């Protein structure tokens, strides 16, 4: 394979990965915003009750144990969920 073709292929691959990560991050933000009814940047237990997975994993998600889930905690949980649901490599 020519060097220029390989460089273009690597560039395209990097762009594709970055685009997918950005899209996933935007999905997290949109879902968080929907659950955050009062738009204070945190989910209370009452707001999180609308999502069974959040409610069931509350103590795991609320890393700082302040009684609320912020955007960073929510995103970390969503990433963990995506990794768990990812098909095993063959």
Kindly give the confidence (pLDDT) of every residue in the chain, 90 residues in length, as a single tens digit, with 9 standing for 90 and above: 666 665 654 554 544 444 444 434 444 667 899 999 999 999 999 999 998 988 999 999 999 999 999 999 998 988 888 887 777 665
Angle at 20 between CA 32 and CA 83, to 5 degrees: 70
User: Among 39, 16, 35, 37, which Cα is nearest to 27's?
Assistant: 35
- The pLDDT score that the predictor gives to residue 85 is 75
Q: Tokens in use for 28?
A: 């997290």
With H, G, I as helix, E, B as strand and everything else as coil, classify residue 43: strand
25-90, what's its fold? Answer: Recoverin; domain 1 (1.10.238)
**Every domain of the chain and the residues it spans:** 25-90
With H, G, I as helix, E, B as strand and everything else as coil, classify residue 70: strand
């Amino acid at each position: 394979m020519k060097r220029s073709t390989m460089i273009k292929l690597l560039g395209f691959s990097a762009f594709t990965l970055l685009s997918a990560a950005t899209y996933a991050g935007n999905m997290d933000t949109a879902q968080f915003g929907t659950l955050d009814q009062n738009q204070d940047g945190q989910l209370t237990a009452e707001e999180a009750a609308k999502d069974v997975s959040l409610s069931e994993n509350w103590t795991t998600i609320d890393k700082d144990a302040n009684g609320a889930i912020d955007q960073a905690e929510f995103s970390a949980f969503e990433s963990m969920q995506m990794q768990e649901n990812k098909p095993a490599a063959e």
